[in-house]
Structure 1
Amino acid sequence: MAAVISAFHPPQDLPQRVRDLSKQVIHTVVVDDGSDLERNSSVLRELEDLGCTVIRMPGNVGIAAALNAGIEAAIESWSPDFVVTLDQDSALDPGYIAAALDTYTEARANGINAGLVSAQSHNGLNVPLLTKRARFPEAFDPLQSGAVIPVSTFKTAGMLDERLFIDCVDSEFNLRVRSHGLATLVGKGCNMTHALGHAQPMMLFGWHVTVLGVKRHVHSHAPFRVYYMTRNSIYLWRQYGARFPVWLIRRLRFQAESDVFRLLYGANRKGQYRAFIRGCLDGWLGRLGKIDAAFQRKISA
């Protein structure tokens, strides 16, 4: 088992998480996505001292390309049967890998070919499922972070789509895996902890919006992230709408709620509107890849 961690300006506590992770995996690859061009990161040096393979990308190439580089390096160096991919702010509970492999083995014994096994819960909260009645439940839209992936899945379904850069990379991979008849199972008892991101109060004329007695918050994203989320979501519809319409409609409901709240209450709403409109256009026209630098500066101003 090899772990591949994507990093960008890696946090100071990453080495400790890697030490904990080493109790569950044999090898660890950390891929820095262009944040250490001067090779002066003390965190990455500490990771190398711990025995990690550290790959420094020559520029910011996106999470898909970074993870692909780490996966390919792990396969070439150690020929593992499984790879677990992780974000730099994610941590697996003790026993996570063993439980994921147990789920995989049990499913195979019952005639289910699993393309990946992901977390059953994040920070103690169960993830949404495709259906609750299955003997071996599948996650609705599993994150790539915490996904235990057989190397055979990459040979069957291909690597992560680097053209998406960030956002929807895991969603696209999940649909592609399912397109090949492989299941996206949840590992029984597998819990992953990770950062929840920044959420700001949803304010309306100075009043903190309350729905059903609960004060609402909105997760704030930089405009360039809104661009990628919008563009890549439209790309998913273009690629998989005919085969997975129900899944995409269900996903659209979650996304639409986030988009409305963010565009009404988020920070830098002017930049977010521009990012949203450009994302819709580029997604419809099939323009993928990294966002244009001049446009990113414009929407971030």
Structure 2
Amino acid sequence: MNTKNIFAIIITYNPDLKTLGELVERLRPQVGHVLIVDNGSDIDIQTWQCGAQDLQYVEILKLGQNLGIAVGHNKGIQAAKRTNARYVLLMDQDSVPEHNMVKELLSKLVSLPNVAAVGARYLLDRPTQVSPFVRTRGLSRDRLLCGAGTDAVQVDFLISSGCLISIATLDIVGEMREDLFIDYVDVEWGLRANHCGLNSYGVCSAAMRHSLGDAPQTVFGKSIGTHSPLRHYYYVRNALLLYRESWIPFNWKVADGWRLCLRAIVYMLFSKPHRANFRMIPLAILHGLSGRSGKMSDD
């Protein structure tokens, strides 16, 4: 299985340099090319690169400002096409793959039917647990864990980190939706691929360690991830933007929507700083319902 025609894209924004170095060290032997797309970090990535041996053969594209994860992915995809790569592997700055992750992903990508993308299962650093894959059936959302004898599971979408996609599929489905900026970018692409008749699969034999950021809040027995008020804004607004799309299945909107309501309540009542969240969540609802997208002007 030749993984040298895989072009890996790492999106960075003020990364933890130790984790980024570990990511590159683990990833570089598994692929043909590694590109770091830096979204306007305060840290000088190129100066750091000069002092890190494992980064000597890694290309860095500095965007100069934070243009969002979707723009970063698309810049990387366009660079991959210029090298005639056959596949792109999307990675976040806070994910570290297992040594055989890419090989396992590629094996499934070339063997599964009507495949849009394959993705790794990931071990969360806080709390320490394997995150399930997700699939919507009717109005319920199934959380699928890998069990004995399970090679791959069909899902609605994959998180972008650890996601392997062929260039041919990107030509059919299209690139990432840039006006979402961050949050729901991977969800929208996965649903769009499914609308094109292609399926996404979680690969049980491919694994990575992944950080989701701030510690989750436990409310009514459910663990809900929290971030900054600005990230909460993007999450709520972008979900509502997706609900406006006629091509997205109605049952998926309903299944996702009630969870969005719960998250919005948690963000406003339980997440600090409370005042900022009370301001951002109603603003996100207003912008989402009115169709406003793009980057927040004060970001």
Which bracket does the TM-score occupy, shorter chain normalised? 0.7 to 0.9
Assess if the C-alpha contact under 8 Å between 1:129 and 1:140 holds in 2: yes
TM alignment of 1:68-87, pairs within 5 A = 68-76=74-82, 78-87=83-92
Distance 1:200 1:168 in 2: 18
Range with bigger deviation, 56-65 or 114-123: 114-123
Which of the pair is proportionally richer in strand? 2
Deviation at 1:283, TM superposition (A): 1.2
2:11 and 2:69 in contact (8 A); partners too: yes
Secondary structure, in 3 states, of the residue corresponding to 1:2?
A: strand
Q: Measure how far apart 1:135 and its partner are.
A: 8.7
Deviations 1:155-180 (A, max 9, x none): 11111111111111111111111111
The structure with the larger Rg is 1
Listed as ranges, the matches of 1:20-31 within 5 Å are 20-31=26-37
Percent of matched pairs sharing the same residue: 26
**Partner residue of 1:61?**
67
Take 2:220 and 2:10, find their aligned partners in 1: how far apart are those partners? 38
* Matched position secondary structure for 2:118: strand
Tell me if the contact between 2:68 and 2:178 (Cα under 8 Å) persists in the aligned partners.
Answer: yes
| Deviation of 1:96 (Å) | 1.2
Structure 1 segments unaligned to the other structure (5+ residues) = 203-208, 297-301
Conserved in 1, the CA contact under 8 Å of 2:226 and 2:271? yes
Task: Note if contact 1:100-1:188 (Cα within 8 Å) is conserved in structure 2.
Answer: no
1:98 corresponds in structure 2 to: 103
Report deviation, 1:35.
1.4
Whole-Å Cα distance in 2 between the matches of residues 177 and 140 of structure 1? 10
Aligned match of 1:150 = 166
- Whether 2:269 is the aligned partner of 1:264: answer yes
Q: Kindly provide the amino acid, as one letter, of the partner of residue 232 in structure 1.
A: N
Are the structure 2 counterparts of residues 80 and 233 from structure 1 closer, same or farther at C-alpha, using a change threshold of 3 Å? same
Structure 2, unpaired ranges of 5+: 1-5, 125-129, 138-143, 145-149
Q: CA deviation at 1:222?
A: 1.5
1:142/1:122 Cα in 2 relative to 1: closer, same or farther (>3 Å)?
Answer: farther
Aligned to 1:128: 134
* Matched residue, 1:52: 58
Aligned to 1:183: 199
Q: Could you tell me which of 268, 291, 295 is aligned with 1:286?
A: 291
- Seen in structure 2, the aligned counterparts of structure 1 residues 188 and 272 have a Cα distance that, compared at 3 Å, is same
Hey, which bits of structure 1, 4+ residues long, moved more than 4 A?
Answer: none
1:136 to 1:201, Cα distance in 2 relative to 1, 3 A: closer
Q: Specify the SS of the correspondent of 1:220.
A: coil
Structure 2 SS opposite 1:119: strand
1:33 has 2:35 as partner: no
TM-score by length of 2: 0.84
> CA RMSD of the aligned region, Å?
2.5
